[in-house]
Amino acid sequence: MSHAHSAGSLPREDLIRAEILALCGSQSLNRSQIAGRLGLGAATVTEHTRRLIELGFMRELPPQVNGPGRPRVPLEVVPDAAYTLGLRVHPDHLVGVLMRLDGSEVRRFTLPFDPSGDPVEQLSQACEPVLADPASGPKVRGIGLALPGVIDPAAGSLRLSPRLGWTGLPLRPLLGARLPVPVLIDNDTRASTTAELLFGTGRDHDDFLVLAIGDGVGMGIVLGRRVHRGPDGVAGEFGHVPIGPDGPACVCGRRGCLDAYLATYALANEAQARGLTGAGLTLPDLVRLAERDAPGIRDLLAERGAILGRAVAGVVNVLAVRALTVIGESHVLWPFLEPGFRPAVEGGVLSALDINVRRWDDSAHARGAASLALATIVASR
């Protein structure tokens, strides 16, 4: 295992060991069952499971004889053989999840965080109690960091995060110098997409999209069981898909981007422009108004849901995916976006689409970051 391994690109072959751990974490399977479920050759599974057994991450169970032929040897994960720590940085707090090899949680924690303070100092301090704990510390093999913003994964650097007010921050080298285990950083949507591939939608689908609704909208793309990143790690910038040439101004400087219709500020501006509310509406305000069916609010949200649904249908048709999973911090708005979204997307796609909406909690992107760290520490290169 090389610590110089780039966190940026995880081609299929690098995810295979994490996929095997995730698959066998919930049930013991023999090598041919693993090969069948993951669409891999027998030799590939034999090679990767041998390495996972050498690492102590998996073990063989007694052989099972079922009729003629060679007995099959079931394999199981040793969940407590190693842990990864995932951190998600929010504008005012930080969520950490310590994860076992099978994806289950050892524990989670929340700490205050001030983006205007020293990020390296605060992030190191968040990791130190976990690393110093004699029960967990020696087992931690990697730390993943999920951040809202544009990440240069090869350099391990955050390019831009308007939400955190950070630009050009080489977090991976800075934290790597402070912490005794490899540190990976990625965009939060892609970290959660990796978690979906390993522990969620990827159980049933090799190709799928993850629609993240938060401050704006983002998209995770999985094709052939590989998380698509694009050459600069910026694939999935769904929020700046152009929708209306005369649409509202977007933070990127253009007009009529999807985000300019769906982001919380955009919804608040439109509610005010329609005379439905005053200025400065927050997300909780919007949810409260929608819940009590204040005049015009549900119509506005359903209209915006329909805009989102048409844009999603376009991507679904281009990539020919059959599954869409909805995640994100704005899930609270989903019940009001969905009445517009679902008919628009279902009316727009060329083949049936399996839509799953995840119950969201604050730790989801942190679990994604821990999954990304898991994928990277067991990667074959």
* SS3 (DSSP) at 326: strand
Contact between 255 and Zn ion per CB under 5 A: no
Part of the chain binding Zn ion (CB under 5 A), chosen from 146-154, 202-210, 257-265, 269-277: 257-265
Part of the chain binding Zn ion (CB under 5 A), chosen from 43-51, 132-140, 232-240, 310-318: 232-240
CA 291 vs CA 60, 262, 284, 326: distances in Å:
53, 18, 10, 21
Nearest distance, CB of residue 249 and Zn ion, angstroms: 9
Distance CA 233, CA 241 (A): 17
Part of the chain binding Zn ion (CB under 5 A), chosen from 40-48, 131-139, 226-234, 245-253: 245-253
Nearest distance, CB of residue 251 and Zn ion, angstroms: 6
Q: Which of residues 103-122 bind Zn ion (CB under 5 A)?
A: none
Nearest distance, CB of residue 150 and Zn ion, angstroms: 13
Which residue type does 372 have? L
Nearest distance, CB of residue 256 and Zn ion, angstroms: 8
Phi and psi (nearest 5°) for 320? 55, 40
How many residues bind Zn ion (CB under 5 A)? The answer is 5
Per CB under 5 A, the list member of 101, 174, 257, 375 interacting with Zn ion is: 257
Distance CA 211, CA 363 (A): 17
Contact between 240 and Zn ion per CB under 5 A: yes
Strands 323-327, 354-357: parallel, antiparallel or unpaired by DSSP?
A: parallel
Contact between 217 and Zn ion per CB under 5 A: no
Phi and psi (nearest 5°) for 74? -70, 145
CA 151 vs CA 32, 155, 233, 239, 319: distances in Å:
38, 9, 7, 16, 24
Distance CA 268, CA 285 (A): 9
* Total number of residues shown for the chain: 381
21/212 with CB nearer Zn ion: 212
Token match 């730790």: residue?
363
Q: Do residues 192 and 368 touch, judged by C-beta distance below 8 A?
A: yes
Part of the chain binding Zn ion (CB under 5 A), chosen from 160-168, 240-248, 265-273, 354-362: 240-248
Contact between 249 and Zn ion per CB under 5 A: no
Per CB under 5 A, the list member of 158, 250, 271, 366 interacting with Zn ion is: 250
21/217 with CB nearer Zn ion: 217
169/250 with CB nearer Zn ion: 250
Nearest distance, CB of residue 242 and Zn ion, angstroms: 8
Part of the chain binding Zn ion (CB under 5 A), chosen from 25-33, 119-127, 249-257, 327-335: 249-257
Token match 């005049």: residue?
295
162/296 with CB nearer Zn ion: 162
Angle in degrees, CA 81, 86, 87, rounded to 5:
155
Binding site for Zn ion (CB under 5 A): 240, 250, 252, 254, 257
